[in-house]
Amino acid sequence: MKSRTMQNLLLQGIVQPFSIVFLLLLSIGGLGTATCQAQTRAYVTNPGSNTASVIDTSTNAVSATIPLGNYPQGVAFTPDGTRVYVTNNSSFNVSAIDTASNVVVATIPVGANPDAVAITPDGTRAYVSNFNGGVSVIDTGSNTVIATITVGMSPEGIAITPDGTRARGCLSIRNGIRRRCRNQHRNFDDSG
């Protein structure tokens, strides 16, 4: 199935609301895809059980289940593969998972209904789109929010340019009417 077709199915709500992350096996840009350098595990969010399943990609078997916040959704890896960040939509926070132990090492409060997360190429920042119109900037060293960028109501998805200086987002469906997505170009300014 082509990536564009899968994106259309996800956007139309035909596919169940869960995030699947296959490391380097599947690339659906902007829809919760993450790549880990180790490429040995995939992390799959399970919103119905508030967990993430860790899948060993060599055996395609679940090797661990990690308890998370309410309705886990977006997933992103740090470039070195040592941490996974997962948005917990109904808990208004992000879980930082140590990939060596598969344990949540931090729970970071963010804006209302966080959707997607993206990590800068240098791994120092995580950007989280929140339904309330903000993008939370997380310092991955301290696992704290250091800034919030206002972008407009209901941002969904976030992607960071390879040089780490810009992000693109999309405003979502409001009142059952699909609006044309607008690119939200932002220079990252961590000064607040």
pLDDT of residue 178: 42
Would you say 24 and 35 are in contact if contact means Cβ atoms under 8 Å apart?
A: yes
pLDDT of residue 156: 74
pLDDT of residue 132: 83
Pick the CATH number of 3-187 from 1.20.120.1200, 1.10.600.10, 2.130.10.10, 3.30.70.260: 2.130.10.10
Alpha-carbon span 106 to 73, nearest angstrom: 17
Its pTM surpasses 0.85: no
pLDDT of residue 140: 97
- The DSSP secondary structure of 43-107, one letter per residue, reads EEEETTTTEEEEEETTTTEEEEEEE-SSSEEEEEE-TTSSEEEEEETTTTEEEEEETTTTEEEEE
Q: pLDDT by residue (tens digit) across 25-42?
A: 233 333 333 445 456 888
Structural domain spans, the chain: 3-187
Instruction: Look up residue 15 and give its two tokens.
Output: 């596919």
Q: pLDDT by residue (tens digit) across 140-169?
A: 999 999 999 887 777 777 888 888 887 766
Q: pLDDT by residue (tens digit) across 167-191?
A: 766 665 554 444 444 444 444 444 4
Q: pLDDT by residue (tens digit) across 60-111?
A: 999 999 999 999 999 999 999 999 999 999 999 999 999 999 999 999 999 9
